[in-house]
Structure 1
């Protein structure tokens, strides 16, 4: 691991106002309890796990609970809260700003404010928005704006229409499926082909996208204007984090599929408890199939490339 410490692109914040709104709406991350979190506890965790900087984002279910006005206010509040953390400790924190989709006008306005005024490092989107996946034509204006800015977009999974399996909350089994589904939806609807300036990170190693990528290229026969080669090329434009996905069965597939420089460290803290995260950290560090320098790149170098302000002098 790089001596300068990991850049963690998948770390969450739970501002007090956001927790209150979630509790008022009876909301959870698809059945997963909302953990305790403070900026101080986040830094302490990072110190214990050799994480230099955590790029913070709101997790599932995002900031829209059914009312556009409330969602705009909630996104603004969590973004300003996160921006203050970054202002106070730019070495330790980054920010993916929340956007109030499906309110596209609100999302465009908040993206401009967050990126221009708050100097957010990028934006976070949920994998589906009230059942609509991110390749939906209604979201085209937002993709055009984010691409024009060359923005970094972090896609985090959220609950889907599927009923949860008993004993398996959504984050364990449904989230990888939803991430895969939205990545394919974006690809087959031309989002990745049209917008080549933005950088899009998929959570949790992209679900099972790397494992089944060749299978997905068969979709070309049902999608005019695509070819197996173009589908594969667009799928490889995504970046991938390692949160809860650095297992010995997952890493070979991810590293074989991802384009060079497209794998980044992720902890999923605090939703993934520290003792759970350490298991995946150990598997990431101990894997013996890396090319020279590849582990340092995952832990830090690839993050520096996406977020130049975090680069070492």
Structure 2
């Protein structure tokens, strides 16, 4: 394994923003392992640990120097879009998860990622690791906890190497609730994550499950606005104590079932009163809600006591991203419930959304007759600034 000294990046500036390396350890790898050990996380259970640590170290070494020439400033000013739904796929993660949602996990690298941003006019991306995230090793507590920490260290490395362009949502090792609380605290307080990504279900348990309440409570009690990004994952059922992917069709899970997973988890969070009980939490919802808007009246009209309060939360503490070709027609179903345009965000789902769809998806938002020019500008820039506030150094 290659272990080289910490690449200083923008040195003092970066270290002030992300204090975990403030005391400058001898090596990046040593610091990561030491921090994990301090939280009783054994990274050595991961047989690909050396490869991952080398890629993290390389991320720092390859970071571009800070330059302040006119050309770079002009390019930065020309790009104004904030992309709140995008993903990173380091090579070690792609090897670990070669298939995502029934489709091949895309090949990715940081340089092509930054080039994609520039090509779309994206000034800043808030990224995550896509599903399954840390839940590759279902039923294995030690592996899940270790993988969550490694994912977050890799994500933080990309952001430290590109502080003016990238921010991230951290993963947590649910269904292990107490360990998830520890990881959230580390990622938010030490690594600089702007929020937490949760998948729609965790080993077949949806997020409103009672065993996850202490996690929501811990996040809710943190000072300032807390952000949870709810990403769809493959549905599972348990048969003979084994988790089986529950896609009843011949179509790729990511193409169809992910939209229904969003509907399932949001109904679950609503009917269990999770979104009502923890009022300091805001939710980023991908694909303008997937299949969720079509289910709202059918489900909530059977529980009229929470109908109005639920709609109010969808209009105030839910933020809806555009990832995918959702502005051709789909967004109309969401807007039909009176969701304010100030709650709309832009997302690309790069690199999981095919490249050939990107230009059309962006153009559909830009040309939508449903939004005024001012509302489109807000969707791309003002709305995400309102959501994230001081969590991002704009």
Question: Does the pair score TM above 0.5?
Answer: yes
Q: CA-to-partner distance for each residue in 1:214-243, whole Å, 9 max, x for gaps?
A: 23321306xxxx332223223433211100
1:186 equivalenced with 2:269 (yes/no): yes
How many corresponding residue pairs? 302
Q: CA-to-partner distance for each residue in 1:256-285, whole Å, 9 max, x for gaps?
A: 432342111010000012221221111111
Q: CA-to-partner distance for each residue in 1:96-154, whole Å, 9 max, x for gaps?
A: 00111111122111001000100111110100011111111110011111222232111
Q: 2:313 aligns with which of 234, 255, 258?
A: 234
* Change beyond 3 A, Cα 1:245–1:276: closer
Q: Give, in whole Å, the separation in 2 of the partners of 1:53 and 1:274.
A: 19
Name 1:41's counterpart in structure 2: 112
Name 1:154's counterpart in structure 2: 229
Structure 1 residue ranges without an equivalent (≥5): none
- 1:96-245 matched pairs, under 5 angstroms: 96-149=169-222, 150-161=225-236, 162-166=246-250, 168-220=251-303, 226-236=305-315, 237-245=317-325
Q: 1:22 aligns with which of 79, 88, 97?
A: 97
Counterpart secondary structure, 2:229: strand
Higher Cα Rg, which structure: 2
Q: Give, in whole Å, the separation in 2 of the partners of 1:278 and 1:7.
A: 16
Q: Which has the higher contact order (CA 8 A, sep 6+)?
A: 1
**Normalised by the size of structure 2, how large is the TM-score?**
0.73
Counterpart secondary structure, 1:284: helix
Contact 1:126–1:155 under 8 Å retained in 2: yes
* Change beyond 3 A, Cα 1:14–1:45: same
* Change beyond 3 A, Cα 1:164–1:276: farther
**Normalised by the size of structure 1, how large is the TM-score?**
0.91
Counterpart secondary structure, 1:145: helix
Name 2:125's counterpart in structure 1: 54
1:299 equivalenced with 2:380 (yes/no): yes
Q: Which moved more, 1:8-17 or 1:180-189?
A: 8-17
1:246 equivalenced with 2:326 (yes/no): yes
Counterpart secondary structure, 2:175: coil
- In the TM superposition, residue 33 of structure 1 has moved relative to its aligned partner by 1.0
Contact 1:99–1:111 under 8 Å retained in 2: yes
Question: RMSD of aligned C-alpha atoms?
Answer: 1.8
- In the TM superposition, residue 17 of structure 1 has moved relative to its aligned partner by 2.8
- In the TM superposition, residue 164 of structure 1 has moved relative to its aligned partner by 4.6
Name 1:277's counterpart in structure 2: 358
Q: Which moved more, 1:256-265 or 1:98-107?
A: 256-265
Structure 2 residue ranges without an equivalent (≥5): 1-76, 237-245
Contact 2:97–2:105 under 8 Å retained in 1: no
Q: Give, in whole Å, the separation in 1 of the partners of 2:128 and 2:252.
A: 21
- In the TM superposition, residue 75 of structure 1 has moved relative to its aligned partner by 1.1
